[in-house]
Amino acid sequence: MSHTDPSAPVVLQATGLSKSFGDLQVLRSIDLTIRKGEVVALIGPSGSGKTTVLRSLNGLEVPDGGVLTVGDGLELDFSYPISDVHRYALRDRSAMVFQAHNLFPHKTVLQNVIEGPTVVHKVPRDRAVADARELLERVGLLEKQDAYPHQLSGGQQQRVGIVRALALKPDLLLFDEPTSALDPELVGEVLSVIKQLATEGWTMAIVTHELQFARQVADEVVFMADGVVVERGAPATFFTAPEHERTKQFLDRLLNPFG
């Protein structure tokens, strides 16, 4: 699905991002450009650095080097100490959907969704509630607005997590393996919501192991291994004619698990 104008404005650009945890270097000079309305899928084996890239894009992780440039002019050069003000400014432009929902267990669905807009963005409560109800209705969960997370299925919790991110009206939505913690029969309901967001033009970066989903939804697929970007390309060519042997091995193992 290619729905991005190549001349669309850049929402976020990463140049030369590097990151180590102790002696382990997990990112090695990562370059990434995400344009408005684009869906970028990050795939690769466990430990390849995908989640660290995603967390670096919104300030949850602070790289050791490289530069992040946000479309409206904010630039963070990680060769210098980064102030909390700049980290929060970066985080303000994006919203993360986590692998394990991360909902507040003691708050209702509605309370979870309005928390960010009212506390972080100071949106008046009545407006935040109206927006939240509209979003919950779109994902088929309005009748669950007064339920608590433990009363929901895993798929419903993840859909609330997506609504919570949407309620912040971010420039960029970040998904960290949004279906990996779900039972197989619940995966489809979450992926269908993300597909719908793609058709609506939301800008997204998605770490996923669902290759068929990436093939259908992404404008660009980025394959990582051992902390580097091995290969990237449009799904039509990436999945049918990968250039690198490492990419071929990875795709063959996942797409043809039984040989």
Please enumerate in sequence order all residues whose Cβ is within 8 A of that of 81, keeping only pairs 6 or more positions apart, or say none.
none
Confirm whether 243 is domain-assigned: yes
Residue 2 counted as domain residue: no
**DSSP assignment, residue 119?**
I
Task: State pLDDT tens for residues 18-74.
Answer: 999 999 999 999 999 999 999 999 999 998 999 999 999 998 999 999 999 997 788
Query: Are 160 and 149 spatial neighbours (Cβ–Cβ below 8 Å)?
Result: yes
Residue 203, Cβ density class (10 Å: 0-12 exposed, 13-18 middle, ≥19 buried): buried
Let me know if residue 5 belongs to a domain. Answer: no
3-state class (DSSP) for residue 8 = coil
Question: Do the domain assignments include residue 222?
Answer: yes
- Whether 250 and 225 have beta carbons less than 8 Å apart is answered as yes
| Residues in a beta bridge with 229 | 224
Pair of tokens at residue 12? 């976020």
Query: For residue 94, with 0-12 CB atoms within 10 Å meaning exposed, 13-18 middle and 19 or more buried, which class applies?
Result: buried
- Please say if the pLDDT value at position 2 is more than 60: no
Q: The pTM is what? A: 0.93
- Structure confidence by residue, pLDDT tens digits, 103-148: 999 999 999 999 999 998 899 999 999 999 999 999 999 999 999 9
The rounded distance, in Å, linking the Cα atoms of 236 and 159 is 28
- Position 1 in a domain: no
Rounded to the nearest angstrom, the gap between the alpha carbon of residue 71 and the centroid of all alpha carbons in its chain is 17
DSSP strand pairing (10-21 vs 24-35):
antiparallel
Has residue 170 been placed in a domain? yes
- Phi, psi dihedrals of residue 221, rounded to the nearest 5°: -110, 130
Q: Helix axis angle, 184-199 relative to 154-166, nearest 10°?
A: 20
Reported confidence tier of residue 203, pLDDT bands at 50, 70, 90? very high
Domain of 150 in residue numbering reads as: 10-255
In a domain, residue 140? The reply is yes
Domain count, the chain: 1
* CATH number, position 224: 3.40.50.300
Predicted confidence at residue 3, as pLDDT, reads 54
Whether residue 130 lies inside any domain: the answer is yes
